[in-house]
Structure 1
Amino acid sequence: MIRFMLRLTIPAAALLACGPAGAQDIDPDILTAQAGTFLVAPEDGRAGCRLTLETDLAIGGYSLSGQDSCSKPLPALAEAASWNFDGNGGLIMMDPTRRVIARFVENEGSPMKTEDKTPLLLVSAPDGIDRLPTFSSLAGTWVMQRPEGEKLCSMTFEGTANADGNAPLSPSGDCTANVARLKLAIWRIDGFGLTLMSHDGSSVGFRMRADGNFDKSREEGGKPLSLIRRDPH
Protein backbone atom coordinates (compact mmCIF):
# COMPACT_ATOMS: atom_id res chain seq x y z
CA MET A 1 0.00 0.00 0.00
CA ILE A 2 1.32 3.38 -0.95
CA ARG A 3 2.80 5.58 1.72
CA PHE A 4 3.82 8.71 -0.17
CA MET A 5 3.95 10.97 2.88
CA LEU A 6 5.90 12.25 5.78
CA ARG A 7 6.08 9.74 8.61
CA LEU A 8 8.08 9.69 11.78
CA THR A 9 9.53 6.24 12.29
CA ILE A 10 11.00 7.28 15.62
CA PRO A 11 9.39 5.74 18.70
CA ALA A 12 7.66 8.39 20.77
CA ALA A 13 9.61 7.28 23.82
CA ALA A 14 12.85 8.19 22.06
CA LEU A 15 11.62 11.75 21.71
CA LEU A 16 10.14 12.28 25.16
CA ALA A 17 13.51 13.36 26.45
CA CYS A 18 14.20 15.67 23.53
CA GLY A 19 11.18 17.92 23.18
CA PRO A 20 11.41 21.62 22.34
CA ALA A 21 13.61 22.48 25.30
CA GLY A 22 16.20 19.82 24.46
CA ALA A 23 16.74 20.44 20.78
CA GLN A 24 20.52 20.10 20.97
CA ASP A 25 20.16 16.57 22.41
CA ILE A 26 18.34 15.09 19.42
CA ASP A 27 20.30 12.45 17.53
CA PRO A 28 21.66 14.06 14.33
CA ASP A 29 20.46 11.08 12.29
CA ILE A 30 16.90 11.57 13.54
CA LEU A 31 17.10 15.25 12.74
CA THR A 32 18.44 14.64 9.24
CA ALA A 33 15.77 12.02 8.57
CA GLN A 34 13.03 14.50 9.44
CA ALA A 35 14.44 17.49 7.55
CA GLY A 36 13.38 18.29 4.01
CA THR A 37 10.81 20.17 1.97
CA PHE A 38 7.15 19.40 2.53
CA LEU A 39 3.79 20.66 1.44
CA VAL A 40 1.54 21.98 4.18
CA ALA A 41 -2.01 21.97 2.84
CA PRO A 42 -5.62 21.80 4.05
CA GLU A 43 -7.25 18.40 3.90
CA ASP A 44 -10.18 19.84 1.96
CA GLY A 45 -8.10 20.43 -1.18
CA ARG A 46 -7.46 24.16 -0.92
CA ALA A 47 -4.01 25.46 -1.87
CA GLY A 48 -1.14 25.12 0.58
CA CYS A 49 2.52 26.12 0.68
CA ARG A 50 5.91 24.46 0.83
CA LEU A 51 8.16 24.71 3.86
CA THR A 52 11.68 23.36 4.26
CA LEU A 53 12.56 21.93 7.65
CA GLU A 54 16.25 22.60 8.22
CA THR A 55 18.78 21.29 10.73
CA ASP A 56 20.34 24.56 11.93
CA LEU A 57 19.49 25.63 15.46
CA ALA A 58 16.91 28.40 15.85
CA ILE A 59 14.88 29.86 18.70
CA GLY A 60 12.85 27.02 20.17
CA GLY A 61 14.23 24.34 17.88
CA TYR A 62 15.44 24.29 14.29
CA SER A 63 15.27 26.70 11.38
CA LEU A 64 12.86 26.50 8.49
CA SER A 65 12.42 28.40 5.23
CA GLY A 66 9.76 29.03 2.63
CA GLN A 67 7.45 30.99 4.93
CA ASP A 68 6.87 33.69 2.30
CA SER A 69 5.04 31.16 0.11
CA CYS A 70 2.46 30.78 2.89
CA SER A 71 1.48 34.44 3.10
CA LYS A 72 -1.57 34.06 0.83
CA PRO A 73 -2.79 30.45 1.20
CA LEU A 74 -1.95 29.97 4.91
CA PRO A 75 -1.09 33.36 6.48
CA ALA A 76 -0.57 31.98 9.98
CA LEU A 77 2.34 29.85 8.77
CA ALA A 78 4.02 32.89 7.23
CA GLU A 79 4.98 33.71 10.84
CA ALA A 80 6.74 30.37 11.41
CA ALA A 81 10.33 30.83 12.58
CA SER A 82 11.30 27.35 13.79
CA TRP A 83 10.17 23.76 14.10
CA ASN A 84 10.79 20.99 16.61
CA PHE A 85 9.64 17.59 17.77
CA ASP A 86 6.91 17.85 20.40
CA GLY A 87 8.11 14.91 22.54
CA ASN A 88 5.09 12.75 21.68
CA GLY A 89 5.90 11.65 18.14
CA GLY A 90 4.55 14.83 16.55
CA LEU A 91 6.01 18.04 15.23
CA ILE A 92 5.41 21.70 16.03
CA MET A 93 6.04 24.99 14.25
CA MET A 94 6.61 28.16 16.26
CA ASP A 95 6.72 31.92 15.72
CA PRO A 96 9.69 34.04 16.91
CA THR A 97 8.22 34.19 20.44
CA ARG A 98 8.09 30.35 20.62
CA ARG A 99 4.31 30.39 20.40
CA VAL A 100 3.12 27.18 18.73
CA ILE A 101 1.23 28.07 15.57
CA ALA A 102 0.82 24.54 14.19
CA ARG A 103 1.00 21.13 15.87
CA PHE A 104 1.16 18.11 13.58
CA VAL A 105 0.11 14.91 15.30
CA GLU A 106 1.43 11.48 14.41
CA ASN A 107 -1.28 9.60 12.52
CA GLU A 108 -0.38 5.92 12.18
CA GLY A 109 -0.38 4.86 8.55
CA SER A 110 -1.26 8.35 7.28
CA PRO A 111 0.39 11.76 6.96
CA MET A 112 0.89 13.85 10.08
CA LYS A 113 -1.83 16.46 10.47
CA THR A 114 -3.21 19.08 12.81
CA GLU A 115 -6.35 18.53 14.85
CA ASP A 116 -8.15 21.61 13.56
CA LYS A 117 -11.69 21.50 12.18
CA THR A 118 -10.12 21.52 8.73
CA PRO A 119 -6.80 19.75 9.33
CA LEU A 120 -3.53 20.75 7.73
CA LEU A 121 -1.40 17.88 6.46
CA LEU A 122 2.39 17.83 6.38
CA VAL A 123 3.35 15.65 3.43
CA SER A 124 5.96 15.08 0.76
CA ALA A 125 4.54 16.21 -2.58
CA PRO A 126 5.47 16.07 -6.26
CA ASP A 127 7.05 19.25 -7.61
CA GLY A 128 4.46 21.63 -8.97
CA ILE A 129 1.61 20.30 -6.82
CA ASP A 130 0.26 22.84 -4.31
CA ARG A 131 -2.79 21.05 -2.92
CA LEU A 132 -3.97 17.64 -1.79
CA PRO A 133 -6.18 15.48 -3.99
CA THR A 134 -9.76 15.03 -2.77
CA PHE A 135 -12.53 12.60 -3.59
CA SER A 136 -14.34 15.24 -5.62
CA SER A 137 -11.22 16.25 -7.55
CA LEU A 138 -10.41 12.64 -8.49
CA ALA A 139 -13.98 11.55 -9.27
CA GLY A 140 -14.45 10.43 -12.84
CA THR A 141 -13.17 7.84 -15.29
CA TRP A 142 -9.61 6.50 -15.14
CA VAL A 143 -7.71 4.01 -17.27
CA MET A 144 -5.38 1.47 -15.71
CA GLN A 145 -2.58 0.79 -18.18
CA ARG A 146 1.03 -0.20 -18.63
CA PRO A 147 3.53 2.67 -19.14
CA GLU A 148 3.83 1.81 -22.83
CA GLY A 149 0.07 2.29 -23.23
CA GLU A 150 -1.40 -1.24 -22.98
CA LYS A 151 -4.87 -0.77 -21.49
CA LEU A 152 -5.83 -3.17 -18.68
CA CYS A 153 -9.07 -1.69 -17.37
CA SER A 154 -11.11 1.49 -17.20
CA MET A 155 -13.02 2.39 -14.05
CA THR A 156 -15.16 5.15 -12.66
CA PHE A 157 -14.44 6.67 -9.25
CA GLU A 158 -17.41 7.98 -7.30
CA GLY A 159 -16.69 11.27 -5.52
CA THR A 160 -18.33 10.79 -2.11
CA ALA A 161 -16.63 8.84 0.68
CA ASN A 162 -18.38 6.94 3.47
CA ALA A 163 -17.63 7.16 7.18
CA ASP A 164 -14.68 4.78 6.75
CA GLY A 165 -13.03 7.10 4.23
CA ASN A 166 -13.74 4.89 1.21
CA ALA A 167 -15.66 5.69 -1.97
CA PRO A 168 -17.14 3.26 -4.54
CA LEU A 169 -15.48 2.51 -7.86
CA SER A 170 -16.96 0.73 -10.84
CA PRO A 171 -14.67 -1.26 -13.17
CA SER A 172 -15.78 -1.50 -16.78
CA GLY A 173 -16.50 -4.78 -18.50
CA ASP A 174 -13.27 -4.65 -20.51
CA CYS A 175 -10.82 -5.43 -17.70
CA THR A 176 -8.15 -8.03 -18.28
CA ALA A 177 -8.44 -11.23 -16.27
CA ASN A 178 -5.62 -10.35 -13.84
CA VAL A 179 -7.35 -7.07 -12.95
CA ALA A 180 -10.87 -8.50 -12.87
CA ARG A 181 -9.86 -11.17 -10.35
CA LEU A 182 -8.92 -8.45 -7.86
CA LYS A 183 -12.64 -7.53 -7.61
CA LEU A 184 -11.80 -3.87 -7.02
CA ALA A 185 -14.82 -2.05 -5.58
CA ILE A 186 -13.67 0.90 -3.43
CA TRP A 187 -10.92 3.50 -3.34
CA ARG A 188 -9.39 5.80 -0.77
CA ILE A 189 -6.95 8.71 -0.58
CA ASP A 190 -4.03 8.89 1.83
CA GLY A 191 -2.14 12.14 1.32
CA PHE A 192 -0.84 11.77 -2.23
CA GLY A 193 -1.46 8.04 -2.17
CA LEU A 194 -4.40 6.35 -3.86
CA THR A 195 -5.42 2.80 -2.97
CA LEU A 196 -7.86 0.62 -4.89
CA MET A 197 -9.40 -2.19 -2.84
CA SER A 198 -11.82 -5.10 -2.93
CA HIS A 199 -14.21 -5.95 -0.11
CA ASP A 200 -12.21 -9.10 0.71
CA GLY A 201 -8.72 -7.65 1.20
CA SER A 202 -7.16 -7.29 -2.24
CA SER A 203 -5.57 -3.90 -2.89
CA VAL A 204 -3.16 -2.03 -5.11
CA GLY A 205 -1.56 1.28 -4.18
CA PHE A 206 -0.52 4.20 -6.37
CA ARG A 207 1.24 7.52 -5.83
CA MET A 208 0.47 10.81 -7.52
CA ARG A 209 2.89 12.28 -10.01
CA ALA A 210 3.37 15.91 -11.04
CA ASP A 211 0.84 15.77 -13.92
CA GLY A 212 -1.95 14.58 -11.61
CA ASN A 213 -1.97 10.98 -12.81
CA PHE A 214 -0.72 8.05 -10.72
CA ASP A 215 1.95 5.35 -10.92
CA LYS A 216 1.86 2.12 -8.96
CA SER A 217 3.89 2.33 -5.77
CA ARG A 218 7.31 0.72 -5.93
CA GLU A 219 6.47 -1.04 -2.66
CA GLU A 220 3.78 -3.02 -4.50
CA GLY A 221 6.34 -4.82 -6.66
CA GLY A 222 5.49 -6.44 -9.98
CA LYS A 223 5.25 -4.72 -13.34
CA PRO A 224 4.85 -0.94 -13.62
CA LEU A 225 1.27 0.27 -13.78
CA SER A 226 -0.35 3.67 -14.19
CA LEU A 227 -3.75 5.28 -13.66
CA ILE A 228 -4.47 7.91 -16.32
CA ARG A 229 -7.48 10.21 -16.13
CA ARG A 230 -9.74 9.85 -19.14
CA ASP A 231 -11.90 12.89 -18.41
CA PRO A 232 -9.57 15.54 -16.94
CA HIS A 233 -11.30 18.42 -15.14
Structure 2
Amino acid sequence: MIRTFCFAAASAAFILAAGQPAAAADDELIKSQAGSWLLAPESGAKGCRLTFETSPASGGYAISGADACATALPAYAKAAAWNFSDDGTLNLMDASQKVVARFQEEEGSPWESEDGDPTWLLPALGDVDHVPTVASLAGTWQIQQPGGKLICNVTLSGDADQDGTPKMSPGGDCPADIRDLKLSLWAMEGFGLVMMGTDGSSLSFDMRPDGSFQKSEEEEGEPMVLVRKQGS
Protein backbone atom coordinates (compact mmCIF):
# COMPACT_ATOMS: atom_id res chain seq x y z
CA MET A 1 0.00 0.00 0.00
CA ILE A 2 1.27 3.45 -0.83
CA ARG A 3 1.59 5.42 2.35
CA THR A 4 1.52 9.09 1.49
CA PHE A 5 -0.76 9.90 4.36
CA CYS A 6 -3.83 8.22 5.74
CA PHE A 7 -7.15 9.97 6.23
CA ALA A 8 -9.33 6.87 6.00
CA ALA A 9 -9.80 6.83 9.76
CA ALA A 10 -10.55 10.54 9.80
CA SER A 11 -13.03 10.21 6.95
CA ALA A 12 -14.68 7.27 8.67
CA ALA A 13 -14.93 9.24 11.89
CA PHE A 14 -16.63 12.05 10.04
CA ILE A 15 -19.10 9.72 8.36
CA LEU A 16 -20.00 8.22 11.74
CA ALA A 17 -20.54 11.70 13.09
CA ALA A 18 -22.53 12.83 10.04
CA GLY A 19 -26.23 13.15 10.67
CA GLN A 20 -25.59 14.11 14.28
CA PRO A 21 -25.58 17.69 15.51
CA ALA A 22 -22.19 19.39 15.34
CA ALA A 23 -20.42 18.16 18.44
CA ALA A 24 -17.17 18.70 20.26
CA ALA A 25 -16.05 15.28 19.02
CA ASP A 26 -15.91 16.67 15.49
CA ASP A 27 -13.48 19.39 16.55
CA GLU A 28 -10.59 16.94 16.60
CA LEU A 29 -11.30 15.91 13.02
CA ILE A 30 -11.36 19.52 11.87
CA LYS A 31 -8.17 20.31 13.77
CA SER A 32 -6.45 17.30 12.20
CA GLN A 33 -7.05 18.72 8.71
CA ALA A 34 -5.94 22.26 9.53
CA GLY A 35 -2.64 23.46 8.12
CA SER A 36 -0.80 24.03 4.86
CA TRP A 37 -1.81 21.97 1.83
CA LEU A 38 -0.45 21.54 -1.67
CA LEU A 39 -2.84 21.40 -4.62
CA ALA A 40 -0.91 19.73 -7.41
CA PRO A 41 -1.78 18.21 -10.80
CA GLU A 42 -1.09 14.49 -11.12
CA SER A 43 0.84 15.33 -14.29
CA GLY A 44 3.68 16.84 -12.24
CA ALA A 45 2.91 20.43 -13.25
CA LYS A 46 3.40 23.19 -10.72
CA GLY A 47 0.72 23.49 -8.09
CA CYS A 48 -0.11 25.99 -5.37
CA ARG A 49 -0.61 26.13 -1.63
CA LEU A 50 -3.48 27.08 0.54
CA THR A 51 -4.12 26.87 4.26
CA PHE A 52 -7.05 25.17 5.94
CA GLU A 53 -8.13 27.17 8.97
CA THR A 54 -10.35 26.10 11.85
CA SER A 55 -12.21 29.41 12.03
CA PRO A 56 -15.81 29.29 10.74
CA ALA A 57 -16.57 30.54 7.24
CA SER A 58 -19.64 30.49 5.03
CA GLY A 59 -20.24 26.82 4.28
CA GLY A 60 -17.56 25.43 6.54
CA TYR A 61 -14.09 26.53 7.66
CA ALA A 62 -11.90 29.29 6.29
CA ILE A 63 -9.24 28.87 3.61
CA SER A 64 -6.41 31.39 3.32
CA GLY A 65 -3.78 31.89 0.63
CA ALA A 66 -5.91 30.64 -2.28
CA ASP A 67 -5.06 33.73 -4.31
CA ALA A 68 -1.62 32.15 -4.83
CA CYS A 69 -3.36 29.64 -7.12
CA ALA A 70 -4.30 32.33 -9.67
CA THR A 71 -1.46 31.43 -12.04
CA ALA A 72 -0.89 27.71 -11.58
CA LEU A 73 -4.46 26.56 -10.86
CA PRO A 74 -6.82 29.50 -11.41
CA ALA A 75 -9.93 27.40 -10.79
CA TYR A 76 -8.95 27.23 -7.13
CA ALA A 77 -8.09 30.89 -6.62
CA LYS A 78 -11.58 31.67 -5.29
CA ALA A 79 -11.62 28.89 -2.72
CA ALA A 80 -12.74 30.48 0.54
CA ALA A 81 -13.95 27.58 2.67
CA TRP A 82 -13.54 23.84 3.13
CA ASN A 83 -15.73 21.20 4.68
CA PHE A 84 -16.72 17.53 4.52
CA SER A 85 -19.88 16.11 2.99
CA ASP A 86 -21.85 13.39 4.75
CA ASP A 87 -20.20 10.79 2.49
CA GLY A 88 -16.70 11.92 3.48
CA THR A 89 -16.02 13.94 0.35
CA LEU A 90 -13.86 17.00 1.03
CA ASN A 91 -15.27 20.11 -0.64
CA LEU A 92 -13.68 23.46 -1.43
CA MET A 93 -16.15 26.34 -1.82
CA ASP A 94 -16.08 29.98 -2.85
CA ALA A 95 -17.50 32.85 -0.80
CA SER A 96 -21.02 32.16 -2.12
CA GLN A 97 -20.78 28.50 -0.99
CA LYS A 98 -20.54 27.30 -4.58
CA VAL A 99 -18.41 24.15 -4.72
CA VAL A 100 -15.10 24.81 -6.46
CA ALA A 101 -13.92 21.21 -6.27
CA ARG A 102 -14.71 17.90 -4.61
CA PHE A 103 -12.02 15.50 -3.47
CA GLN A 104 -12.33 11.79 -2.77
CA GLU A 105 -9.84 9.74 -0.81
CA GLU A 106 -9.14 6.02 -0.70
CA GLU A 107 -7.23 4.44 2.15
CA GLY A 108 -3.51 5.12 1.87
CA SER A 109 -3.89 7.46 -1.12
CA PRO A 110 -4.03 11.24 -1.47
CA TRP A 111 -7.23 13.21 -1.85
CA GLU A 112 -7.97 13.36 -5.59
CA SER A 113 -10.32 15.71 -7.44
CA GLU A 114 -13.50 14.16 -8.79
CA ASP A 115 -13.74 16.17 -12.00
CA GLY A 116 -11.39 17.50 -14.66
CA ASP A 117 -7.70 16.71 -14.89
CA PRO A 118 -6.64 14.75 -11.79
CA THR A 119 -5.44 17.07 -9.04
CA TRP A 120 -4.16 15.93 -5.69
CA LEU A 121 -4.52 17.58 -2.32
CA LEU A 122 -1.62 16.71 -0.03
CA PRO A 123 -0.13 18.07 3.19
CA ALA A 124 2.55 20.55 2.10
CA LEU A 125 6.09 19.18 2.10
CA GLY A 126 8.79 21.82 2.62
CA ASP A 127 9.01 24.06 -0.44
CA VAL A 128 7.91 21.33 -2.87
CA ASP A 129 5.39 22.77 -5.37
CA HIS A 130 4.63 19.68 -7.48
CA VAL A 131 4.28 15.93 -7.18
CA PRO A 132 6.92 13.62 -8.66
CA THR A 133 6.06 11.49 -11.67
CA VAL A 134 7.32 8.21 -13.06
CA ALA A 135 9.27 10.08 -15.74
CA SER A 136 10.95 12.39 -13.22
CA LEU A 137 12.03 9.53 -10.95
CA ALA A 138 13.13 6.96 -13.51
CA GLY A 139 16.80 6.11 -13.11
CA THR A 140 19.22 4.50 -10.67
CA TRP A 141 18.73 5.04 -6.95
CA GLN A 142 20.69 3.96 -3.92
CA ILE A 143 19.18 2.38 -0.84
CA GLN A 144 21.27 3.62 2.06
CA GLN A 145 21.42 3.53 5.80
CA PRO A 146 20.38 6.86 7.39
CA GLY A 147 24.05 7.73 7.89
CA GLY A 148 24.75 7.41 4.16
CA LYS A 149 26.29 3.93 4.03
CA LEU A 150 25.31 2.21 0.77
CA ILE A 151 23.09 -0.86 1.04
CA CYS A 152 22.53 -1.44 -2.67
CA ASN A 153 21.40 0.07 -5.96
CA VAL A 154 17.96 -0.20 -7.56
CA THR A 155 16.82 0.90 -10.99
CA LEU A 156 13.38 2.47 -11.43
CA SER A 157 12.34 2.12 -15.05
CA GLY A 158 10.00 4.29 -17.06
CA ASP A 159 8.87 1.20 -18.97
CA ALA A 160 5.65 -0.42 -17.80
CA ASP A 161 4.21 -3.93 -17.73
CA GLN A 162 1.01 -4.90 -19.55
CA ASP A 163 -1.08 -3.38 -16.76
CA GLY A 164 0.70 -0.03 -17.00
CA THR A 165 2.74 -0.37 -13.80
CA PRO A 166 6.38 0.75 -14.18
CA LYS A 167 9.08 -1.85 -13.79
CA MET A 168 12.10 -1.87 -11.50
CA SER A 169 15.07 -4.09 -10.77
CA PRO A 170 17.23 -4.41 -7.64
CA GLY A 171 20.97 -4.48 -8.22
CA GLY A 172 23.08 -7.56 -7.76
CA ASP A 173 24.61 -5.93 -4.70
CA CYS A 174 21.34 -6.01 -2.75
CA PRO A 175 21.43 -8.08 0.47
CA ALA A 176 19.27 -11.17 0.93
CA ASP A 177 16.49 -9.41 2.85
CA ILE A 178 15.88 -7.10 -0.12
CA ARG A 179 16.43 -9.78 -2.77
CA ASP A 180 13.88 -11.98 -1.01
CA LEU A 181 11.19 -9.36 -1.63
CA LYS A 182 11.45 -10.14 -5.37
CA LEU A 183 10.87 -6.50 -6.22
CA SER A 184 9.90 -6.00 -9.86
CA LEU A 185 7.40 -3.10 -10.05
CA TRP A 186 7.04 0.34 -8.51
CA ALA A 187 4.45 3.09 -8.32
CA MET A 188 4.09 6.71 -7.23
CA GLU A 189 1.04 8.29 -5.68
CA GLY A 190 1.40 11.75 -4.28
CA PHE A 191 4.54 11.81 -2.17
CA GLY A 192 4.58 8.04 -1.64
CA LEU A 193 6.68 5.49 -3.52
CA VAL A 194 6.12 1.76 -3.23
CA MET A 195 8.23 -1.07 -4.63
CA MET A 196 6.27 -4.26 -5.22
CA GLY A 197 7.34 -7.88 -5.39
CA THR A 198 6.02 -10.71 -7.51
CA ASP A 199 4.74 -12.54 -4.40
CA GLY A 200 2.77 -9.63 -2.95
CA SER A 201 5.58 -8.21 -0.83
CA SER A 202 6.30 -4.49 -0.88
CA LEU A 203 8.63 -1.80 0.39
CA SER A 204 7.20 1.70 0.88
CA PHE A 205 8.95 5.06 1.08
CA ASP A 206 7.82 8.61 1.83
CA MET A 207 9.29 11.61 0.04
CA ARG A 208 11.36 14.16 1.96
CA PRO A 209 11.57 17.89 1.17
CA ASP A 210 14.94 17.45 -0.58
CA GLY A 211 13.51 14.93 -3.07
CA SER A 212 14.98 11.83 -1.44
CA PHE A 213 12.82 9.23 0.32
CA GLN A 214 12.77 7.53 3.69
CA LYS A 215 11.30 4.14 4.47
CA SER A 216 7.74 4.55 5.68
CA GLU A 217 7.30 4.43 9.42
CA GLU A 218 4.72 1.66 9.01
CA GLU A 219 7.40 -0.63 7.56
CA GLU A 220 9.14 -3.03 9.89
CA GLY A 221 12.91 -3.39 10.15
CA GLU A 222 15.79 -0.97 10.14
CA PRO A 223 15.32 2.54 8.71
CA MET A 224 16.50 3.14 5.15
CA VAL A 225 16.64 6.07 2.77
CA LEU A 226 16.39 6.15 -1.01
CA VAL A 227 18.69 8.64 -2.74
CA ARG A 228 19.15 9.23 -6.45
CA LYS A 229 22.56 8.02 -7.62
CA GLN A 230 24.69 10.91 -8.83
CA GLY A 231 24.74 11.15 -12.59
CA SER A 232 21.53 9.12 -12.98
When the two structures are superposed, what TM-score results if normalisation uses the length of structure 2? 0.90
Structural mapping, 1:82-231, within 5 Å: 82-161=81-160, 166-231=165-230
Cα distance 1:117–1:94, how it changes in 2: closer, same or farther (>3 A)? Answer: closer
Q: 1:14 aligns with which of 3, 13, 16?
A: 16
Q: CA deviation at 1:51?
A: 1.3
Which segment drifts farther, 165-174 or 181-190? 165-174
Q: Deviations over 1:181-214 (max 9, x none)?
A: 2211111112101111111011111100011110
**Counterpart residue identity of residue 32, structure 2:** A
Q: Percent identity?
A: 46
Offset of residue 14 of structure 1: 2.2
Asked if the contact 2:37/2:121 (under 8 Å) is kept, the reply is yes
Contact 2:5 2:108 in 1 (8 A): no
The answer as to 2:27 corresponding to 1:4 is no
What corresponds to 2:66 in structure 1? 67
Partners of 2:62 and 2:129 in 1: CA distance: 22
Q: Sort the Cα spacing of 1:40 and 1:26 in 2 relative to 1 into closer, same or farther, 3 A.
A: farther
Paired residues of 1:83 and 1:94 also in contact (CA < 8 A): yes
Number of residues of Structure 1 aligned to a counterpart in Structure 2: 230
* Residue equivalent to 2:34: 35
SS at match of 1:220: coil
Give the aligned residue type for 2:39.
Answer: V
Q: Name the aligned partner's letter for residue 17 of structure 1.
A: G
When you count strand as a share of all residues, which structure comes out higher?
Answer: 2
Measured on the aligned residues, the alpha-carbon RMSD in Å equals 2.2
Answer whether contact 2:2 2:108 (CA < 8 A) is retained. Answer: no
Q: 1:8 to 1:178 in 2, by over 3 A?
A: closer
CA contact (8 A) 2:101 2:114 kept: no
Given the superposition, is the C-alpha separation of residues 218 and 37 from structure 1 closer, same or farther in structure 2, using an over 3 Å criterion? Answer: same
Deviations 1:111-170 (A, max 9, x none): 111123421111123211111111111111101111222212111111244575631001
User: Which of 30-39 and 75-84 deviates more?
Assistant: 30-39
State the TM-score, normalized to the length of structure 1.
Answer: 0.90
Q: Secondary structure at the match of 1:30?
A: helix
For structure 1, which runs of at least 5 residues remain unmatched after alignment? none
Task: Go from structure 1 to structure 2 and tell me whether the alpha carbon gap of 1:155 and 1:49 turns closer, same or farther (over 3 Å shift).
Answer: same
| Higher deviation after alignment, 184-193 or 172-181 | 172-181
Equivalent pair of 2:59/2:82 in contact (CA under 8 Å): yes
Aligned partner letter, 1:99: K
Q: Distance in 2 between matches of 1:163 and 1:43?
A: 21
Q: SS at 1:131's partner residue?
A: coil
Contact (CA 8 Å) 2:8, 2:105: kept in 1 or not?
yes
Structure 1 residue 4: Cα displacement = 2.4
Structure 2: which amino acid aligns with 1:216?
A: K
Distance 2:17 2:38 in 1: 23
Residue type of the partner of 2:137? L
CA contact (8 A) 2:60 2:82 kept: yes
Distance 2:231 2:210 in 1: 11
